[in-house]
């Protein structure tokens, strides 16, 4: 009886605190089993009329989850941790190879192709969201900006096939 009550309270509170930012097209880069670090990419969508930011992330598959971006420094592309990822009011922010991304650091086990990875994101208004990202092969990516075009082509192809 008590458990039932708790469950319905939880349900109620999760409705009240629905995430103000949602995620689409989430995927995790498949890596050779020797690698203990990989990136996750997706589109953050702000469902509210005010600016929001994703401030942290968690996952069971790795020791740490960090928010990262890529920067050009002295002609070299480097990754940097960022405090937050801004998502403009009623807008979206794209995370993609060569740009903003989510970094899974210290993978506890090698990720398998097709595996669904749970990631939880915390938003600056106190809401959070739990998402699943599929482990996929990502061609190129980390090094060059030009690779983003391939990403976009792949996505549109997938959408056309679904229609």
Interaction between residue 37 and Cu ion (CB under 5 A)? no
> Which residue's CB is nearer to Cu ion, number 79 or number 148?
79
> CA 21 to CA 122: how far, in whole Å?
9
Cα separation, 17 vs 122, whole angstroms: 12
Q: Which two tokens stand for residue 63?
A: 């020791």
Stretch that binds Cu ion, among 6-14, 17-25, 62-70, 141-149 (CB under 5 A): 62-70
C-alpha 27/C-alpha 42 separation (Å) is 6
Residue 130 to residues 35, 89, 147, Cα–Cα distance (Å): 25, 21, 28
Out of 43, 82, 103, 129, point to the residue binding Cu ion (CB under 5 A): 103
By CB under 5 A, tell whether 105 contacts Cu ion.
Answer: no
Indicate which single residue of 23, 67, 68, 95 sits in contact with Cu ion (rule: CB under 5 A).
68
Window of 20-28, 46-54, 72-80, 138-146 that interacts with Cu ion by CB under 5 A = 72-80
CB of 94 to Cu ion, least distance (A): 16
Q: Which residue is nearest to Cu ion (CB)?
A: 68
Instruction: Choose one: 67-75, 117-125, 138-146, 152-160; the region binding Cu ion (CB under 5 A).
Output: 67-75
Do 30 and 61 contact (CB within 8 A), yes or no? no
CB burial of 48-81 (b: ≥16 within 10 Å; e: otherwise) equals eeeebbbbebebebbeebbbbebeeeeeeeeeee
Which of 36, 43, 58, 79 binds Cu ion (CB under 5 A)? It is 79
């Amino acid at each position: 009886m008590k458990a039932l009550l708790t469950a319905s309270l939880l349900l109620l509170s999760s409705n009240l605190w629905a995430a103000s930012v949602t995620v689409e097209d989430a995927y995790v880069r498949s890596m050779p089993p020797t690698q203990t670090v990989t990136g996750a990419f997706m589109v953050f969508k702000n469902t509210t009329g005010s600016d929001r930011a994703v401030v942290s992330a968690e996952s069971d598959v790795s020791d740490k989850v960090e928010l990262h971006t890529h920067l050009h420094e002295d002609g070299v592309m480097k990754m940097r941790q960022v405090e937050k990822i801004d998502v403009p009011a009623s807008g979206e922010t794209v995370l993609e190879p060569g740009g903003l991304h989510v970094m899974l650091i210290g993978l506890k086990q090698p990720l398998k192709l097709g595996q669904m990875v749970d990631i939880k994101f915390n938003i600056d208004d106190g809401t959070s969201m739990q998402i699943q990202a599929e482990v996929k092969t990502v061609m190129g990516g980390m090094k060059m900006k030009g690779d983003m075009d391939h990403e976009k082509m792949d996505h549109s192809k997938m959408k056309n096939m679904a229609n």
